[in-house]
């Protein structure tokens, strides 16, 4: 497997009106990873956004990104899917952190997740990762 490319397909961010400074907000990212394979290539696409909970989040974001890899037809699909996700996700984490930091709020860093579990349980609506506290100053 050889990493070929990474592209951000879509990125959006907006602050919620009337956020309270120095308040601890609990936010949960919704992370969806899809893998497509064909013609000697594999494409790993991540879609990440904040999950809506009971509390209004201090900001909203949405990021879609894809990484592409060349693969041998004999490679195990599950193994290369996990490796692809493990390769692409750090780029996605950096994109989200940069996006929030550019908005002049503390960088929101996506939690580290177990890619094998994400790919195994992945459904079209995505997987919700445990809540991560975020404080806005």
Residue 133 placed within a domain: no
User: In this structure, is residue 129 part of a structural domain?
Assistant: no
| Rg (the chain; Cα; Å) | 16
Tens digit of pLDDT for each residue in 49-75?
A: 987 777 778 889 999 999 999 998 888
* Burial call 38-70: b when 16+ CB within 10 Å, e when fewer: eeeebbbbbbbbbeeeeeebbbebbbbbbbbbe
Is pLDDT above 60 for 132? no
Residue 40 lies in a domain: yes
Global pTM reads 0.81
133 pLDDT higher than 50: no
Q: What are the DSSP E strand ranges found in 16-110?
A: 24-38, 41-51, 59-70
Based on the structure, what is the number of domains in the chain?
A: 1
Q: What's the CA gap between 117 and 104, in Å, rounded?
A: 33
Q: Domain range for residue 114?
A: 2-18+26-124
pLDDT in tens, 84-130: 999 999 999 999 999 999 988 888 999 999 998 888 754 433 344 44
Domain containing residue 44: CATH number: 3.10.420.10
Q: Give the pLDDT confidence score for residue 48 in this predicted structure.
A: 95
What is the spatial distance between Cα 5 and Cα 127, in angstroms, rounded to a whole number?
Answer: 25
- The tokens describing 97, both together, are 């952190």
Residue 136 located in a structural domain: no
Has residue 111 been placed in a domain?
A: yes
Is 137 a member of any domain? no
| 62, 49 Cβ separation under 8 angstroms | yes
- The confidence score (pLDDT) of residue 103 equals 87
């Amino acid at each position: 497997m050889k990493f070929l490319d990474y592209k951000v397909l879509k990125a959006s961010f907006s602050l919620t009106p009337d956020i309270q400074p120095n308040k601890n907000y609990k936010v949960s990212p919704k992370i969806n990873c899809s893998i497509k394979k064909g013609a000697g290539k594999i494409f790993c696409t991540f879609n990440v956004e904040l999950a809506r909970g009971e509390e209004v989040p201090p900001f909203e974001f949405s990021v879609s990104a894809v990484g592409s890899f060349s693969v041998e037809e004999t490679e195990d699909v599950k193994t290369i899917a996990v490796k692809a996700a493990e390769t692409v996700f750090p780029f996605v984490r950096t994109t989200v952190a940069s996006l929030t930091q550019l908005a002049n709020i503390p960088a929101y860093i996506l939690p580290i997740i177990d890619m094998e579990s994400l790919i195994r349980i992945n459904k079209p609506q995505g997987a919700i990762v445990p809540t991560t506290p975020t404080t806005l100053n």
